[in-house]
Amino acid sequence: DSRLAPVGRLDMDSRGLLILSEDGVVAKAVIGPASELEKEYLVRVLGEVTDAKLDLLRHGLELDGRRLRPAQVTRLDGQQLRFVLKEGRNRQIRRMCELVELDVADLFRVRVGPIRIGKLPEGRWRALTAEERAALIA
């Protein structure tokens, strides 16, 4: 009869790692205003990826009148980018890409802090270990 709530969110067009918990300490560590946990995404984009666009994605954008925190954005190959964020504004990666004339074709979250999705099949779940919980709230 446990009531698990999502800790953070993925929009309906995104996929990947989602943490569910009834543990308020874990929730605060992951999505609280003071959270410094990194969230990592693999993003396939459409459009011309240039060094100037990558620089803007890393340092030069604002959303809703507020400057974004610096992001780690690297080009993996062709149209595949890796984003590492320390904030999670609404549809942030999609909106960032839009600002530099890139369209997101696929967005997959692979990591939240120390927790990696690994080889967990889509639609499946597993419990966090005590060590993973401790690492999230450290």
Q: Which residues are catalytic, by number?
A: 11
Quick check: 14 and 108 in contact, CB under 8 A?
A: yes
Alpha-carbon span 93 to 109, nearest angstrom? 11
Which tokens go with 93? 């990666």
The 3-state DSSP class for residue 28 equals: helix
What would the DSSP string read from start to end of 36-96? ---EEEEEEEES---HHHHHHHHHS-EETTEEPPP-EEEEEETTEEEEEES---TTHHHHH
